Amino acid sequence: MKKVIGFIMAFVLIAGLLPGSCRAAGKKFPDVPDSQWYAVYINELSGHKNQIIGGYPGGRFGPADDVLAAQLITMVLRAKGYTNLKYYQGYVDKALELGLVKKGEFDSYTRVITRAEIARVIARAVKGEKFPENLTDYKALIKDFDSIPEAFRDEILKVYYLGIVEGGPGGYNAGGSTSRAAASKMILAMLEPKYRATVTLRIDDDYVISKGYTIQVNKNGNFKYIGVYTDKNILFEGEELRINISLYLKNLDKQWEEAGKVIASKFGKDAAKQIIDYASQKNFDNYRTMRISKRFTFDGQEMSVGSLEGNDILTITVYEPK
């Protein structure tokens, strides 16, 4: 009987992730209607060149099913380009080799993986990401942080800060499970920053930190001098941050100062000086005839400064890392 159960579990594990055995890559699943929140994530991953996820026999995806350890590990590795390994042991072996998983951390790879364990695997997979010195301050945003086992706290803070793995009304729920739908969202967010949540930390009555930028905005969400936007619902695709300068306002010097502070908070004072020195060539006196347009690169990220002739709004844009 145990052998039969073991065979069934192994079959379910394999069937749930095989990309091409049950359906063509990118084909929609019958149990993933477009009206559901998770449809975009599942459809993106199933049609990805690495065929990151697949369905069960019969064509269903099982969005509400709990994701298992072997499945999550396989999804992460396929997202990173490892597509020709044998499921699932080949992916586990590669994860151990790369340090995404360490020996003894899982008593079984065929069991449900916890949200804490998901955070640990993903945090190790995004080693190149940058984190602020005040990362521990973000624990204030996680209601149940004190109940999270210490061994997982650092990794949970990292994926939470990046907006890859979010919490719920009650907190992070480190010991809880994750559905295949929610896991798909996490993997796509790991791959593409545009799918990440915007995490904002208020540091005092006047300033917040969002995406690593220190921005002046009061508790009512109002800007004092300049418009600074990090919300993906406002930005265009590929943008990380946008600053709008109103050239017709009398407090233009203060606007340049605040814009410089925002840029310096993430890229340093030298980068801020270069941007503001160029941008401030345009002002109220010459905006009708002057056009400025230039691209900069700092720490591997592109920025642009632009304003057309006759336009009294100047825009500074920072683009997501490529």
What pLDDT, on the 0 to 100 scale, is given for residue 12? Answer: 41
CA distance 120 to 66: 18
**What's the CA gap between 322 and 312, in Å, rounded?**
31
pLDDT recorded at residue 232: 86
User: Half-sphere exposure of residue 34, counting CA atoms within 13 Å on the CB side?
Assistant: 2
Whole-number Å distance between alpha carbons of 162 and 196: 7
- Whole-number Å distance between alpha carbons of 257 and 235: 23
Do 160 and 85 sit in the same domain of this protein? Answer: yes
pLDDT tens by residue, 226-244 = 999 999 889 999 999 999 9
**Do 140 and 286 fall into the same domain?**
no
Q: How far apart are alpha carbons 159 and 122 in whole angstroms?
A: 7
The confidence score (pLDDT) of residue 27 equals 64
Cα 222 to Cα 131, 200, 216, 313: the distances in Å are 27, 14, 9, 18
Total number of domains constituting the chain: 2
Q: What's the pLDDT score for residue 5?
A: 40
Assess whether 212 and 183 both reside in one domain: no
Among 158, 184, 200, the domain-final residue is 200
Question: Do 233 and 195 share a structural domain?
Answer: no
In this structure, the answer to whether residues 281 and 188 fall within a common structural domain is no
Residues of the chain with pLDDT under 70: 1-27
Q: How far apart (Å, rounded) are the C-alpha atoms in residues 298 and 276?
A: 14
Same domain assignment for residues 179 and 208: no
CA 89, CA 99: separation in Å to the nearest integer? 15
Check whether residue 37 and residue 172 sit in a common domain: yes
End residue of a domain, out of 160, 175, 200 = 200
Q: What predicted TM-score, i.e. pTM, was given to this entire model?
A: 0.81
Q: Which of 169, 200, 231 is where one domain is finished?
A: 200
43 and 181 part of one domain: yes
pLDDT at residue number 58: 86
Same domain? 175 vs 239: no
Q: What is the 3-state secondary structure (H, E, C) of 32-49?
A: CCCCCCCHHHHHHHHCCC
- Structure token pair of residue 212: 């690593």
Name the residue range of residue 283's domain.
202-319
